[in-house]
Amino acid sequence: MADKLTKASIRINTELCKGCYLCKATCPENLIFVSGKLNSKGYYPANYSEEELDIEKHACKGCALCAIVCPDLAIEVYRG
């Protein structure tokens, strides 16, 4: 097992997201937020962006909990 966690990121397909926000509730770093724009299906999708959140100390650790709980398979996790 790795001694330290590498920086990771996630990508949320906002067109697949139906706004259940399970990912937002599950994220231990609180990096996922609700978008202010509707997607083509009329939902406010979950969103992720370290730039928009202005995060200095906290960053995605790649735990993949968000992707595991997503019922719409709208989240991909990228590590390293």
Q: Is the confidence at residue 71, as pLDDT, over 70?
A: yes
- 55 has pLDDT over 80: no
Rounded to whole angstroms, the Cα distance separating 79 from 7 reads 6
Structural tokens at position 44: 């406010």
- pLDDT: is 1 or 42 the higher one? 42
SS3 52: helix
pLDDT of residue 7: 76
The pTM of this model reads 0.81
- Give 8-79's CATH code, choosing from 3.30.70.20, 3.40.50.1580, 3.60.21.10, 3.90.420.10: 3.30.70.20
Residue 8 to residue 31: CA distance in whole angstroms: 12
Answer whether residue 51 shows pLDDT above 80: no
Q: How far apart are CA 55 and CA 67, in angstroms?
A: 21
- Judged against a pLDDT cut of 70, whether residue 5 lies above it is answered with no
pLDDT of residue 9 exceeding 90, the answer is no
